[in-house]
A = this chain, B = another copy of it.
Amino acid sequence: MQTYRNTKQRTRILEVLRSTDTHPTAAWVYDRLKFEFPSLSLGTVYRNLTILEEQGSVVRIASGSTFDRYDAVVTPHPHFRCLKCGGLYDTKDMSQDAISYPEKTASGHLITKMVLEFHGTCAPCLEKRPASGEMKI
């Protein structure tokens, strides 16, 4: 087994992640901290995000073949993903707590987590791209 040490970099990476609800990428966290740590490496951000995930402090949200995103809110909750801009939002009005599921599927797969996402077009993108016939004059 391996013991974790506390570093300024890891502490700040977690703090930055806790300060936003935009589900940032590793590169976004890096850009936020590179002035505070002029010698910070992007690899360090990636490695620490992985360690924080192992420790249960953050959750990794896969985003197709593009970049992963991270969330410091580790309680299960659904997300809305915009297919136009790629934005990932919390949906304050919706929760996944009421959806129940068995410990095992009929095929014997052990379930430890449920992931729920809604896909579509986010409010800002709806403003920008009015559907044909709704164009403002």
- Tell me, yes or no, whether A74 is within 8 Å of chain B by CB: no
Most buried by B among A65, A93, A110, A112: A110
Tell me which of A3-11, A12-20, A28-36, A99-107 binds B.
A99-107
Q: Are A101 and B118 in contact (CB under 8 A)?
A: yes
Is residue A122 within 8 Å, beta carbon to beta carbon, of the partner chain?
yes
A121-B60 Cα distance, complex, nearest whole Å:
18
Copies in the complex: 2
A: contact size bracket: 35 or more
Contacts of A122 in B (CB 8 A): 107, 109-110
Q: List 15 A-B contacts (CB under 8 A).
A: A65-B65, A65-B67, A80-B107, A80-B111, A89-B107, A92-B107, A93-B107, A94-B101, A105-B118, A109-B123, A111-B119, A112-B119, A112-B121, A114-B119, A115-B118
Nearest chain B CB to A106 CB, angstrom units: 4
**Contact (A115, B112) CB under 8 Å given A62-B64, A62-B65:** no
How distant is A128 from chain B, measured CB to nearest CB, in Å? 13
